[in-house]
Amino acid sequence: MAECLAHVVLGTITLLSWLGLGSIVLIRGPHVGDPVLELLNRLGIGAISFALLTFGAGWAGWLYPAAYLPVFAATALVGASRFAGWARAAP
């Protein structure tokens, strides 16, 4: 049961990290009036951005946990703060 819970927590942190990186990439981008579509846009852009960053870092030989984990944690914190703001604004 603990392993299952650990996978759920890791998945949640990954989702927040995608949201955080997507929010950073789209900070000056177009804003859509629908909050659900805005969330999906930021999640999608964040997932694609992480995939491209991971690919580029691996190709260049820079993919090390010491470099990847701080970026992952920082973007997850940005995503958590962004999600908290959306949760407060929800009816």
Give 28-56 pLDDT, tens digit per residue: 888 888 888 999 999 999 999 999 999 99
How far apart, in whole angstroms, are the C-alpha atoms of residue 16 and residue 87? Answer: 13
pTM recorded for the entire structure: 0.89
Which DSSP category does 85 fall into? H
Per the CB < 8 A criterion, the answer to whether 57 and 68 are in contact is: yes
Q: Residue 8 to residues 4, 30, 53: CA-CA distances in angstroms?
A: 6, 32, 24
Confidence of residue 4 (pLDDT cuts 50, 70, 90): very high
